[in-house]
Structure 1
Amino acid sequence: MASIRTQRARVSHLTAQFPRLILTTPFLQQTYRYRFQHQLRASHDGKSHNRPPSTNPSEDVNPPPSTRPAEIETPAPLGPSASAGDKAKQLLAYGRAYLAFYKSGVKNVYHNYRASLPIRRSLGIQSFIPKTPPPKAFLKIGRGNGNQLKIKTSRSTFQLVHRAAYDARRMIPFTIVLIVCGEFTPLIVYALGNSITPFTCRIPKQIERHRKDMAENKSAALKAHAQASGGSATASTPEAGTEEELHLLSVFARPDFAREASAGDILTACAVFGLVESSYSYESLVEPLYRKRLARHAEYLAVDDKMIKSCGGVTAMDSAEVRIAVQERGGFGLPTGSSAFEAEMVERKWLNMWLKKSQPETALLEVGEVNLASSTGNT
């Protein structure tokens, strides 16, 4: 993974590149040039299944690395005989390293959002409000018979816009914490969790803690769901990564499930996808909050599934992107194997299995809010 210094250089030309592209090229050509130039600046870590950027816009499946956390350059560990002074200096060095990491993450949030503004304007999305764009903004009905859905952009562009909006909403509270707390920010962030932290500013321990918590919440939610469905306190739950569990998760991700399911099932699905902290949340919040949240997530997954299929598939995805995609689909708690490579192979296999079950065209056409007929003028 790239260092902080590399991450800074990677995004330094984004805001300078985009205005020229907008003034000189149509949208589709402009986004292709952006993707290609940006990916050329992005270095890959050389680990399993990370590959050079593609020059084919239909295979542009990976968003810019600046949308993910950079690597933290921490000092070397001290030996057991280190003095108290050396330990104090190392703690200070750790604080400075984390502070530099957070500053780099905040800069990436700013530059990513600036880079997303021309795309949002071209798609007819509000530019100055960091709101997650609706799926219909990235889709159109193709020419010919029937409602054949086509995508307007690549997954790289889609994820850049989506993640830039997600991080921008957390920019103000996190920046305040960073200014007030300085080197002590990791302690505050670790206590408050992801609610105020942009994704680009999440340290490895915070990410791992979130994965562990979500895996536990998912297991508890599926266990309660199995007991309620089977009418028995001893009902078994499907193991993580099995075909049975994958089928259940794919049902939870259908738009018609979000519309018609009971309040208890909505909370279960939200817990599985990490949309709530626990499946034991208040059912009174289902109608005003959680049902809509699950419906939006189902639409997002349908669009992302279609773009993965259209832009090169799982084999073209970086390992970091595969892990993010798996977790967004409820794939917490998968077997890790004895090495990082084996864990990645499990995740790639699971994501391929998910995509075989996914029917994004049917899912999106079932959603009443996605009025694709309004997009026919853009074909």
Structure 2
Amino acid sequence: MLNAGRNLCKSKVHKHASFSPFALHHHTPIPSKSQALTFTTTHPKAQSRRQPYKPSSRIPSAKRHIPPPTTSSQTPPAATQSSPPPVATSSALDPSSTTLPPPLTLPDRPPGTPWYKYYFSVGRTLLKFYKTGLLALFANRKILFQAPLRPHLLSANARKALLAGEITRAQYVFIKRVKADLLKVPVFAVLLLVCGEFTALLVPFVGAIVPKVVWLPVQWERARRKAKERRERAGKKVGYARKEAGGGEVKGLDFSYFPKSREGVERGEHWNEMVVNGVRFNAWPGLWDPLVYLKLLPGATLLKRLENRADELRLDDRAIARDGGAKEISVEEVKLCLDARGTDVRGMEESEMKAILGRFIEKNREEHKKKRHEGGTKGEPWGSKV
């Protein structure tokens, strides 16, 4: 029995000998490196720890496509072309058109359109008009603080530079207009933010706070009509009638800027003429007129303001004569010149306006030469062009 049991155990051990570790190692092939890598990455935990190798998508530097260099004959695309920078002048006489109001075209009202829709579209058009004008003003401000205009921002420096020929008439006017409009921007910006599309309903009555770069055509018309009425009222109040340069007549009109002596005015002479000339050339605000008519303001103060205003106009006449003459100035500029000289330009032709401006320049050039000959005026002589 004992021997039979031992023989049975030996037979079982011999039967299962093929399942030993050595037998498994002998019959199972060893996976290659790539197979093992693929096997390990298929496990979800192993996939989160190690990612399979991916070839780079970059193109080798030797195979990259390098575009040919751009020659001078090739034109860059329109998207990369920068717009030309704004300029301060368009000629020696005319400042940039950005100092004037931008073009304004109001929409038409189609038949059957409700009135509120039409006026809303008009309001949006006017709002765009104001935005364009203010953006142009801010662009001009950048030019103002750049060379060659930056050293001449002060009025005294600009005047000296104009007399010395360092700047042109156009640059001088550019400085004056931009500075005057910038002072009105804060108050007008508040009005524009509060009223929005309805700003155009108020600006005709508050023109003093509106920059002229965003004046509407109705404002220019209203200002010229009011100025003429003021001149006529001043002549009636003081009992001094004077012909105005306009109406198609040029010959025989008075084109001087009050060349009377200070001593005569202080003695009480030429008072009426001083008042009429001060109103004509806008030497003082219109609110002063009732006090002036009653002689409640000192004559020395009024005369000083009139002399300063006359000096500005004489300086402009001299600059126009030097930089090309009245015949070379643009239509819009000649209108503004005659507005400053107390002349109603409504209904005038271009040739007529330029002829009147030429007479102003000629008259005051003669007075300048006369005073310079007498030793009362210093500086270089005027140009020869009128």
Query: TM-score interval w.r.t. the shorter chain?
Result: 0.5 to 0.7
Please say if 1:213 is aligned against 2:222. no
**1:89 and 2:117 correspond:** yes
- Name the structure, 1 or 2, with higher relative contact order (CA <8 Å, separation 6+): 1
Look up the match of 1:67: 99
Measured in 2, the distance between the counterparts of 1:364 and 1:204 equals: 41
Q: Report the Cα offset of residue 290 of structure 1.
A: 4.2
Instruction: Indicate yes or no: 2:336 matched with 1:324.
Output: yes
The letter of the residue matching 2:215 is R
CA contact (8 A) 1:74 1:97 kept: yes
* 1:173-224 deviations in Å (ceiling 9; x for gaps): 111111111111112211212x111110100001101001111112222344
Does the 8 Å CA contact 1:62/1:321 hold for their aligned counterparts?
A: yes
| Aligned counterpart, 1:42 | none
How much identity, in percent, do the aligned residues show? Answer: 24
Q: For residues 336 and 257 of structure 2, what CA distance do their matches in structure 1 show?
A: 20
User: Which residue pairs with 2:286 in the alignment?
Assistant: 277
Q: Which amino acid aligns with 1:271?
A: V
Counterpart amino acid of residue 318 in structure 2? K
Select which of 307, 316, 325 maps to 1:304: 316
Query: Which whole-Å CA distance do the structure 1 matches of 2:85 and 2:371 have between them?
Result: 36
What is aligned with 2:163?
139
Superposed, 1:37-186 pairs within 5 Å as 39=90, 60-79=92-111, 82-84=112-114, 87-118=115-146, 119-123=148-152, 125-126=153-154, 135-140=159-164, 151-186=165-200
| Separation in structure 2 between the aligned mates of residue 288 and residue 171 of structure 1, nearest angstrom | 33
CA positional deviation for 1:135: 2.7
- Equivalenced residues, count: 286
Q: Structure 2, unaligned stretches of length 5 or more?
A: 1-82, 381-386
Structure 1 residues 161 and 104: alpha-carbon distance in aligned structure 2, compared to 1, 3 A threshold: same
- What is the TM-score when the length of structure 1 is the normalising length? 0.65
Q: Unaligned 5+ residue runs, structure 1?
A: 1-10, 15-33, 40-52, 54-59, 141-150, 229-235, 337-341, 374-379
Distance 1:114 1:286 in 2: 42
Q: CA RMSD in A?
A: 3.5
User: Residues 272-326 of structure 1, C-alpha deviation per residue, up to 9 Å, x if partnerless?
Assistant: 1234327833134456864443232212111111111111112211111111111
Q: 1:122 to 1:288 in 2, by over 3 A?
A: same
d(CA) in 2 for partners of 1:162 and 1:358?
22
Cα pair 2:169 2:320 within 8 Å, conserved: yes
Corresponding residue for 2:16? none
Could you say which structure has the larger radius of gyration? 2
Deviations 1:62-117 (A, max 9, x none): 110001111113212334xx243xx2111011111111111222222222233122
**1:352 Cα deviation (Å)?**
1.4
